[in-house]
Amino acid sequence: MKRPDSNDRARLNAVFAEISRKSNLALAPSENERLLLHFLVSFHRVRQGFFVTLEPEVRSKLKTAVWTSYLQAYLSEIEQQFGVHLNETELFYLSGMLLSSKFSTIEESELTLKANADEIALNFYTLVARYYQLREPELFISGLSHHFQALFRRAQYIWDCHNPMKHEVMEYFPQTYQLASRIIPSLQQHVPVSIPDDEIAFIAMHIMAALERSRVPLKALFIYDQTFSEIRYALSLVENHLAEVQIQKTLQVNDLNQTMLEGIDIVFSTFPLQLKDVHCFVFPLIPDVKFITMLKSTLTLLFEQLNDQRLMLSTVT
């Protein structure tokens, strides 16, 4: 094989430079030279009628490598300029060379990657906020941005995205999954391979986690008839066993007025009470395990129901 001329080097270097630009990575100088020689030697080998073989498992992994899609985009140009026909196996082999090369992150490109992820996360929060009232939106946006940055970096190599919860998310949280799918076109602009359903489910799980963080305990009053001692034991049971409830105040029934009920979800008492727009529960003086178990079950359902009403601003369609 004759020594590569300057034109061959320039043409191939242009391809490497474009791939580096698309991947937000830069080849180290020594790696650039090594790759250039490997590629040109491979072209010469193919022209002589000698071809590589790859194990099925290796072919399968390289087929999904982002580098393969990068190289595929320049395949016709390479074949035309270098007078060589590269079959699929040769394409995978050359993409494997790219995959195993030493790259250094370009600081400016890394900042661009983060800026893109931040912008998409903020825009997605704006969309989610049309349907759900989330607490701590900054935490939601930050978590999404980190996830998107990881997605962009992961997409530069072999795409391996498996979500074992995908089917459960799609079945039990269809609206959340549908909402998550709306961000895919924005992400797809920065990812050279098709984003799978597994990734949509991961994004949906970010929304699900944010919704759980946004749930708040039921606000409650505990009313006694004559003395605080009537509710001392029951109050300790509520505080220790009913995480869905947060006691705001304890007071004697004669001190209760309508203003105190503003923002209150439930009222506990040791005697029957009828209050408008508030859920009332009567405690026996000595509550047993059966009573607490039944009450917890009822309050869990009420907790979910009231929080769903508060969080959902509109139905996802």
In a 10 Å sphere around its CB, with 0-12 CB exposed, 13-18 middle and 19+ buried, how is residue 57 labelled? exposed
Closest CA to 306 of 226, 194, 222, 214: 214
Q: How far is CA 201 from CA 125, 135, 150, 162, 193, in A?
A: 16, 21, 15, 10, 17
* pLDDT of res. 108: 45
Does the pTM of the predicted model rise above 0.85? Answer: no
* pLDDT of res. 222: 95
* pLDDT of res. 26: 66
Which letter, b or e, does each residue of 104-138 get, where b requires 16 or more Cβ atoms within 10 Å of its Cβ? eebeeeeeebeebbbebbeebbeebeebbebeebe
* pLDDT of res. 38: 85
Query: In this structure, what is the dihedral angle of CA atoms 93, 94, 97, 103, given to the nearest 10 degrees?
Result: -150
Total residues found in the chain within this entry: 317
* pLDDT of res. 191: 81
- Pairing mode, if any, of strands 25-27 and 218-224? unpaired
Phi, psi angle pair for 300, to nearest 5° = -65, -45
Where do the domains of the chain lie, and which CATH numbers do they carry? 6-105 (1.10.1790), 107-214 (1.10.1790.10), 218-311 (3.40.50.2300)
Phi, psi angle pair for 280, to nearest 5° = -110, 140
The DSSP symbol for 192 reads: S
* pLDDT of res. 130: 93
Token pair for residue 99? Answer: 């995959």
Digits of tens for pLDDT over the chain (317 positions)? 455 566 777 778 777 777 776 665 666 667 778 888 888 888 889 988 999 988 888 888 788 777 788 788 888 888 888 888 999 999 888 888 877 776 555 444 667 788 889 999 999 999 999 999 998 899 999 999 999 988 887 776 656 678 999 999 999 999 999 999 999 999 998 887 788 899 999 999 999 999 999 999 999 999 999 999 989 999 999 999 999 999 999 999 999 988 899 999 999 999 998 888 899 999 988 888 899 999 999 999 999 999 988 888 777 76
